[in-house]
């Protein structure tokens, strides 16, 4: 039976498309954005996260770890991530929930049941299900079949994507998607490569393709000071997006350092950027509006 690895299910989401939604976060992403606010969604396998504030230093994890990856050093729990294979044994035994596994396998039926539980909210608010990540289309086979099921039971579908997939996958996904939430980060290909780990030609071409296919699209622009807030980038984005007829709105998503502490819990490091101030957000908004776009701040 086909299964997907999901790291979060957010109920009553109001920033992931129209109405009240259930957002399902699929694990695995081909990009490595420096500011990623879901670093636990990057790797395509379950990962152990350690919450130091919940830990009572009982030493249980040190005792039960089959790979001897945990030790208590100077009164602190240290996990050797090079040894740890994310088996989850310590998670099972930790008495305080200080160790959690990000990533759980679901069947289509199980996710459908999760979605059905919130149907009254969708009907009341014009909401539905948003497929997010990570990059959900890394698990495209499952996602396409799940979207097909959602359409069969008449639930509105939105797909939040980086657009970094093949044309064929994007075409297939579009058959069962009512709305795309499409991330555009940096317009310059070299800068895009530097800050995300991939070039942006596939992403831009897929956005054009969706537009040609008549898809409904909301473009999402994560605003990261010092990375993509320069006028040249904003104008290039305004120019590109204004030439697409299917883009209904452009959402500026101001940077928040949420990913920094999550990365620490995974034993990784993430750079912290400045949060954009109101003045900067207004300036960017005004420039984008010059291109005739409907610009909103937030999801
Ligand atoms: S997840 Fe497994 S290998 Fe990693 S620290 Fe816990 S018990 Fe050890
Ligand atoms: S088992 Fe949990 S509470 Fe005990 S030392 Fe390990 S992380 Fe801390």
Tens of pLDDT along 149-161? 999 999 999 999 9
Lookup: tokens for 39: 């670093």
Ligand nearest to the CA of 65: 1
pLDDT, averaged across the chain: 97
Ligand nearest to the CA of 70: 1
Phi and psi (nearest 5°) for 143? -60, -45
For residue 10, the CA-to-ligand 2 centroid distance in Å is 27
Once rounded to an integer, what is the mean pLDDT over residues 258-275?
A: 97
Ligand 2 pocket, residues with Cβ under 6 angstroms: 55-61, 77, 94-96, 98-99
For helices 167-174 and 201-212, what crossing angle results, to 10°? 40
The answer on pLDDT for 1 being more than 90 is no
Q: How far is CA 42 from CA 38, 83, 105, 134, 163, in A?
A: 7, 19, 16, 6, 15
CA distance 180 to 189: 22
**Alpha-carbon torsion, ordered 27, 33, 36, 41, to 10 deg:** 10
Once rounded to an integer, what is the mean pLDDT over residues 32-58?
A: 98
Ligand nearest to the CA of 93: 2
At the second CATH level, the architecture of 47-101 is: 2-Layer Sandwich (3.30)
**The ligand 2 atom nearest the CA atom of 72:** 5
Q: Where residue 113 falls among pLDDT bands split at 50, 70, 90?
A: very high
The answer on pLDDT for 240 being more than 90 is yes
Whether the Cβ atoms of residue 207 and residue 244 lie closer than 8 Å to each other: yes
CA distance 166 to 202: 8
What proportion of the chain, given as a percentage, has pLDDT over 90?
99
At the second CATH level, the architecture of 3-44+103-297 is: Alpha-Beta Barrel (3.20)
Instruction: Take atom 8 of ligand 1 and give the residue whose Cα is closest.
Output: 65
Q: Tell me the sheet residues that pair with 181.
A: 160, 218
CA distance 23 to 129: 6
DSSP state of 276: P
Cis peptide before 134 (omega within 30 of 0): yes
Cβ of 92 closer than 6 Å to ligand 1, yes or no, is no
Pocket test for ligand 1, best of 70, 77, 97, 265 (most atoms within 8 A of CB): 70
The answer on pLDDT for 28 being more than 80 is yes
Cβ of 48 closer than 6 Å to ligand 1, yes or no, is yes
- Domain borders along the chain are 3-44+103-297, 47-101
Tens of pLDDT along 144-194? 999 999 999 999 999 999 999 999 999 999 999 999 999 999 999 999 999
CA distance 195 to 185: 9
Whether the Cβ atoms of residue 32 and residue 45 lie closer than 8 Å to each other: no
């Amino acid at each position: 039976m086909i299964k997907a690895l999901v790291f979060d299910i957010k109920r009553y989401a109001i920033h992931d498309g129209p109405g009240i939604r259930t957002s399902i976060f699929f694990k695995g992403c081909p990009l490595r954005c420096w500011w990623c606010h879901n670093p636990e969604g990057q790797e395509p396998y379950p990962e152990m996260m350690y919450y130091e504030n919940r830990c009572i230093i009982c030493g249980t994890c040190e005792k039960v770890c089959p790979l001897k990856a945990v030790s208590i050093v100077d009164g602190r729990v240290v996990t050797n991530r090079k040894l740890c294979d994310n088996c989850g044994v310590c998670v099972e035994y930790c008495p305080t929930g200080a160790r959690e596994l990000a990533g759980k396998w679901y069947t289509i039926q199980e996710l459908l049941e999760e979605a059905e539980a919130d149907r009254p909210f969708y009907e009341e608010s014009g909401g539905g299900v948003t497929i997010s990540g990570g990059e959900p289309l890394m698990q495209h086979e499952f996602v396409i079949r799940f979207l097909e099921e959602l359409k069969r039971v008449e639930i509105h579908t939105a797909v939040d994507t980086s657009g970094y997939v093949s044309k064929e996958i994007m075409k297939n996904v579009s058959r069962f998607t009512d709305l795309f939430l499409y991330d555009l980060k940096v317009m310059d290909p070299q800068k895009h490569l530097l800050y995300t780990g991939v070039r942006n030609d596939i992403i831009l071409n897929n956005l054009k393709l969706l537009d040609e296919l008549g898809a409904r699209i909301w473009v999402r622009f994560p605003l990261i000071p010092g990375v993509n807030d320069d006028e040249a980038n904003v104008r290039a984005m305004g120019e590109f997006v204004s030439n697409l007829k299917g883009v209904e709105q452009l959402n500026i998503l101001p940077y928040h350092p949420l990913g920094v502490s999550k990365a620490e819990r995974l034993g990784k490091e993430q750079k912290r950027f400045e949060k954009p101030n109101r003045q900067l957000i207004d300036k960017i908004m005004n420039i984008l509006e010059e291109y005739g776009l409907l610009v909103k701040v937030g999801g």
